[in-house]
Structure 1
Amino acid sequence: MRTKIILTATVLIGGAAFAIAQTSHTGHSDGMDHSAHQQEQAMTGAALSEPGQGAFAALSELVRVLEADPNTDWAQVDLAGLRAHLVDMDRLVMDAVVIETDLPDGISAIATGDADTIATLRRMVPAHAAQLARDDRWTVDATETNDGIELRVTSEIPAVVARIKGLGFFGLMASQDHHREHHFMMAQGKDAHGH
């Protein structure tokens, strides 16, 4: 009997806590007051750093920087262009189908996908290959194929060859950390190496 009472009490308390948690979040889409969250955050001292989904977070961060700069030329700002690029980045990472072939001196990566992904690959890979080519320890070549693109990265230095193979296609596309500067240029409406 005592066990039943304890179990019943536990279920009721747990259910009540769940209901309260659900109730306090359900109003989110119905005109939620974000300032209330900011006040709660200030009171608790919590310092959240990620405002949700990655592309939204990148846009949010750039909006904050642009709004804080009194010299921002709002007539040139192009957040829609940056958003399109962020969609491309997501599509490249999530949707590209890549077959990598080890070469004695590096890799060949054939990347393809659906029509939107192929268009993304053709915009992003050659532009990023040009960025990669700034490192003179390797040779980088991006060539369009009938259904995508080939990225070939090679080197005569054994340690660099190991690095190329370790990075693979996606690691190479994410290396040469210029993305934040590139995104800032795009947000300002500047041509940041054409993608």
Structure 2
Amino acid sequence: MKPSNRKLAIISATGAVAVLSVVALVLPIGVASSQQPPMMDHTMPGHGQMQGMMQQRHQEMMQMHGQGTMQMAMGTPTMPGQDAFGAIQEIVRMLEADPETDWSKIDLEALRQHLIDMNEVTLKADAAATPIEGGLEITVTGEGRTFAAIQRMVPAHAEELNQMNGWSAKTEALPDGVRLTVTSNSTREVAHIRGLGFIGLLVSGSHHQPHHLAMAKKEMPHQH
């Protein structure tokens, strides 16, 4: 063999060995990578469908909850339909919830009559208010049942006003009603009294509700 041909053969053999070495290195890497589990692609259609189904299920559950709440509300009315009826109903529920209630001493009719008096004085009485030094003077008048309710309620309530805010309250009987006078030594309270007026003074304090329960139990020394 000529020297030039021998040199060419050596070069060719060397190149072939190099190529085979590279292939041997690359092939295991490709095989290993092909055996690894595929990465989760959150953009895949299956993932999007799952999210959509979950959202739809959540909306359905919320809708069912709303319908259930509405049905409960529709099936269980809460308004008594009449204020006095509701007030007496509240007292009855309290009495029934108390295991120590002595039903032989309960007088719900007395409470009903008192609520009628409240209605007469609140809605039917005439109240003429006149500012005076230190407070307010109110002439409360009416006829028939209204007159009787005024006589029962206003003097008794004046006793409660006497215990509030440093006020001084007194009443004077009139042929057709009662004169209520409420005063204070405080400039601020004078403005308070005048701002409240008759109905504001009548509803002042938190004794009305406890009195209703005490009245039903015959535990009140006076009823107003």
For the aligned pair, the TM-score class normalised by the smaller chain equals 0.7 to 0.9
Query: Within 5 Å, which residues of 2 pair with 1:1-195?
Result: 44-46=71-73, 48-135=77-164, 137-195=166-224
Q: CA deviation at 1:135?
A: 2.0
If asked which structure has higher relative contact order (CA below 8 Å, sep 6+), I would say 1
Q: What is the number of residues matched between the two proteins?
A: 155
In structure 1, stretches of 5+ residues that fail to align are 1-40
- Contact kept? 1:105, 1:154, Cα under 8 Å: yes
Distance 1:70 1:109 in 2: 44
- Contact kept? 2:137, 2:181, Cα under 8 Å: yes
Aligned residue for 1:123, secondary structure, equals helix
Deviations 1:27-72 (A, max 9, x none): xxxxxxxxxxxxxx98723275431100000011111111111111
- Contact kept? 1:185, 1:192, Cα under 8 Å: no
With over 3 angstroms needed to count, the CA separation of the structure-2 counterparts of 1:140 and 1:103, relative to structure 1, is same
Distance 1:179 1:49 in 2: 22
- Contact kept? 2:114, 2:223, Cα under 8 Å: no
The one-letter amino acid of 2:182's match is V
Deviations 1:136-178 (A, max 9, x none): 5111011101111000001110100000001101110100121
Aligned residue for 2:103, secondary structure, equals coil
- Contact kept? 1:77, 1:187, Cα under 8 Å: yes
TM-score by length of 1: 0.75
Would you identify which runs of 4 or more consecutive aligned residues in structure 1 move more than 4 Å? none
Aligned position for 2:12? none
Larger radius of gyration: 2
The one-letter amino acid of 1:109's match is I
Aligned position for 2:18? none
Deviations 1:78-118 (A, max 9, x none): 00000000000000001100111011311100010112111
The one-letter amino acid of 1:113's match is G
The one-letter amino acid of 2:72's match is G
- Contact kept? 2:165, 2:189, Cα under 8 Å: no
Aligned residue for 1:58, secondary structure, equals helix
The one-letter amino acid of 2:139's match is I
The one-letter amino acid of 2:71's match is T
The one-letter amino acid of 2:223's match is G
Distance 1:49 1:179 in 2: 22
